[in-house]
Structure formats: structure tokens, C-alpha cells
Amino acid sequence: MRAIMITKQGGPEVLAVRDFPVRAAGRGEVRISVKAAAVNPTDIALRTNAAYAKGTAGIPGMDAAGVIESVGEGVDRLKVGDEVMAAVSPRRPEGGAQIELQVVPAASVVPIPSGATLAQASTLPMNGLTALLALDLLKLKTGETLAVSGGAGHLGSIAIVLAKQRGLRVIADAKTSETELVRSHGADVVVARGERFCDEVRAATKGGADALFDTALLGRDSFPAIRDGGAYVPVRGWDKTPAERGIRILPVFVAEALERTDWLNDLRDLASRGVIKLRVAEEYPPERAADAQRAMEAGGLRGRAVIVF
């Protein structure tokens, strides 16, 4: 099957379309004819970081949507012909989602949201699972305050929606032109993006948020936005150095949640009801995968670039 391959570590130009063998579905697995696969920051890491890519097949992608082509033994929840979305790890030996035909555990697969296109559905699994895992790690109580950096981004917007579903007070940042967009996701307070972020969060909370979900990768510079003894959730890991003022560091690793069928079903239901908005920034054929990654690296996308087979 045609797959997007990372031929060597480097810039977007190292991406190419190559043939790759695909095995039959085994017990507890399904084989999906992939029609759409979202582009995510993890794809950039796989292409640029030799240590991260070591031992992988070099096929990027963590989200796929398509049609079930065959099912393995013991699978009765899904059937051939179903339109589905799937969460996939690109670090497994057979690679990630950006391939025409792929085998995945049935536990990582659910039907697409009602009314969604396959391209739209492909933007949901990884971001949705990441946000749910972050909230699960934080264990905030109803009425407590969550700050979200990168509130206008796809992950940030989903995190805001899910936090509000749990009864949290949400403070998120936005540039002036996107204030209403972020407010539409459900943020209670929208603060300025940039150097005033921490001061404005503290002003809105009288001492700092109970937790910060840092989707914008602000790092330690964002700690003043968090109260003493609060929590910080980074999305790109942590160097294990201690934090200040008793702040707990809770890195989120979405690979731990790829087989949370219950969470995927919850995400599908919320998207079906229009609570979560699925945003496609642009669609690209596999031959233009380099352009899709360039768009991701440039930043500012309000949605996901999607590879369409």
C-alpha cells in the first residue's frame, strides 16, 4: 500500500510516498482502508528527532478515518464497511496512520461522529484523547479553575470544551482577533496571548489557576499563572527538573490512552452533538505531505492539515 515515508531525518523534503507491506488483521484487530489522516506535531518529531524515530517504520500519523476493510477473530463490535476513526501510534513497528491500508487494535477504533466527513473525523482521536488524559491526570473538582494556553488551537479548543463538560472554570488565551472564537468554545475568561498571559490569569483568579494545560508550549515561563501547589500539564514531556512553589508536573503521553474505547466513544458523541467542533485547515494528497508539515510547522493553523488518500 502507498504510505508517506520519512526517508531520513531532515526537513519536510525528506517525505516521500512509498509502497509498504500490510499484513492481515489478527485477533482483536481490524484493517482499515484509510481515506484521511490528520497531520500532528508528533509527525514533526518523528521526522526531525533521530532518537524518537529509532526503531519505527518511519510512517507518521496518529489519527486515521476510513472504512473497515476486514476484521480479525473475536471482533464483533465493528463490521466490514463501517466508517470509523482510529488512534494509532507511529512508534509501533508497522508505523502510523498515513498509509492507505492499516491494521489497528479494534479497541482504538470507533464509528465516526454523525454528520462528520472522514477528513473531519480524522482530526479528533489524538487531540481528544490527549485532552481527556490531561483532565484525568489533573482530577480537578467542579468549580476549580483550569488555564489553557493556546486556546485557539485545535487541542486547546477541545480541552476547553471538555473542561466545561466537567464543570470547571476555564481561562484561555487568544490574540485579539480570535477572542470571540475562543469564547465560543466555552472559555469563561479570555486573556491576552503573549507576555501578559501570566499576569492576566493571576488577576482573574486572585493568585493563580488551580492548573495549567500548556498546549502552546510556554514551559516554565507560564508557572506564574499557577497557584502555589497547583498543577502543570506539558504536552511534550518534561525534563524531570523540579518545579517551584510545590507545583506538580503531570506530563501527558497520549500513547497511554490509544485503546480507551470508552473515551473515543465519548468524543464521538460530543462531536455528533456539535459540542466539539471538528476543524480541517486544508486537505492534501499524499504527494504533498511536505506542504502539510510545512503548514503545521509555520503555526497558526486553526484546525488540522489532513492527508487524503
Quote the crossing angle between the two packed helices 125-138 and 154-165, to the nearest 10°: 50
Is the model's pLDDT at 301 over the cut of 90?
no
What is the per-residue pLDDT for 242? 87
Task: Please report which confidence band the pLDDT of residue 240 belongs to, taking 50, 70 and 90 as the band edges.
Answer: confident
What is the per-residue pLDDT for 299? 83
Give the residues across from 306 on adjacent strands. 38, 283
- pLDDT tens for each residue of 266-284: 999 999 999 999 999 999 9
* Across 188-217, average pLDDT: 96
What is the per-residue pLDDT for 54? 92
Element (H, E) at 134: helix 125-138
- pLDDT tens for each residue of 124-171: 999 999 999 999 999 999 999 999 999 999 999 999 999 999 999 999
* Across 45-52, average pLDDT: 94
pTM for the whole thing?
0.96
Is the model's pLDDT at 260 over the cut of 90?
yes
218 near 149, Cβ under 8 Å?
yes
Indicate the average pLDDT of the chain.
Answer: 96
* Across 188-215, average pLDDT: 96
* Across 213-223, average pLDDT: 96
* Across 108-127, average pLDDT: 98
* Across 116-131, average pLDDT: 98
In percent, the amount of the chain with pLDDT more than 90 equals: 95
What is the per-residue pLDDT for 300? 81
161 near 134, Cβ under 8 Å?
no
* Across 84-102, average pLDDT: 96
* Across 187-206, average pLDDT: 96
Task: Please report which confidence band the pLDDT of residue 249 belongs to, taking 50, 70 and 90 as the band edges.
Answer: very high
Element (H, E) at 120: helix 118-121
Grid cell of 136 as nine digits? 484525568
Element (H, E) at 47: helix 41-48
Helical residues (DSSP H) of 166-301, grouped into ranges: 179-184, 197-205, 261-272, 289-298
Task: Find how far residue 247's CA is from the centre of its chain.
Answer: 25
What is the per-residue pLDDT for 53? 93
- CB-based contacts of 262, cutoff 8 Å, min separation 6: none
Task: Please report which confidence band the pLDDT of residue 250 belongs to, taking 50, 70 and 90 as the band edges.
Answer: very high
- CB-based contacts of 75, cutoff 8 Å, min separation 6: 25, 28, 29, 30, 106
Which domains can be identified in the chain, with CATH numbers? Answer: 2-123+278-308 (3.90.180.10), 128-254 (3.40.50.720)
In percent, the amount of the chain with pLDDT more than 70 equals: 100
287-292 contact pairs (CB < 8 A, 24+): 287/17, 289/4, 289/12, 289/15, 289/17, 289/39, 289/98, 290/12, 290/13, 290/15, 291/12, 292/39
What is the per-residue pLDDT for 206? 85
